[in-house]
Amino acid sequence: MRLFLNPNQQAYLRGLASEFGASTSQVKDELSQLREAGLLTSQKDGRQTNYQANASHPLFPELQSMVKKSMGMVQIIESIVERLGNLRYAYLIDDYAQGKDTGLIDLLLVGDIDKFNLDDLVGKTERYVGRKIRTLVLSEKEFKEFDKTIKGRPKLLIWESKTTSK
């Protein structure tokens, strides 16, 4: 899930084994099978091998979609976008942006958002997906300033308004 949610992210064997509380041999077997199937790529970095999702694999879009659905992202974004006003961007930040299902979803919303409606939606969506959702709402101006402070933190764009100008 971690690698398919954010295809730009890399991970290495010992780090994954530690994160998942599994032996390195178990994780190595899984990584090898995924690499042999073409779903992961690997690259040597000194003595360490980094693994990354193969975004060019024909099944990648479907796998990424399944991961997002299993983490509840699709339901969250669809319910938010429909009822919140002028949402420009929605980002996952921190753990979920790395593909770690910790049970706490940090969601950064940019735009002119109806905060009363947001609180109602978050409560309902939390019950639906079985996870706690923590939101941060910023105007576009605030986001430009705040974006500099979270530059090194994991951040994954999960929705963008079609009318947003870049």
Residue 75 has pLDDT above 90, yes or no: no
- Give the count of domains, the chain: 2
Distance CA 66, CA 64 (A): 5
Mark whether 94 and 52 lie in a shared domain: no
Show the tokens assigned to 147.
Answer: 């974006």
Rg of the chain taking only CA atoms, in angstroms: 17
- Three-state secondary structure string covering 116-141: HHHHHHHHHHHHHHCCEEEEEEECHH
For residues 43-67, average pLDDT: 87
In this prediction, residue 73 carries a pLDDT of 64
Mark whether 77 and 152 lie in a shared domain: yes
Q: Residue 111 domain-assigned?
A: yes
Mark whether 45 and 85 lie in a shared domain: no
- Greater confidence, 52 or 166? 52
The model's pLDDT over 18-45, given as tens digits with 9 standing for 90+, comes to 877 788 898 888 898 889 999 999 999 8
The model's pLDDT over 99-145, given as tens digits with 9 standing for 90+, comes to 777 888 898 999 988 888 888 888 887 877 778 889 999 999 999 88
Containing structural domain, residue 50: 2-59
Q: Residue 64 domain-assigned?
A: no
Alpha carbon of residue 159 to chain centroid: 11
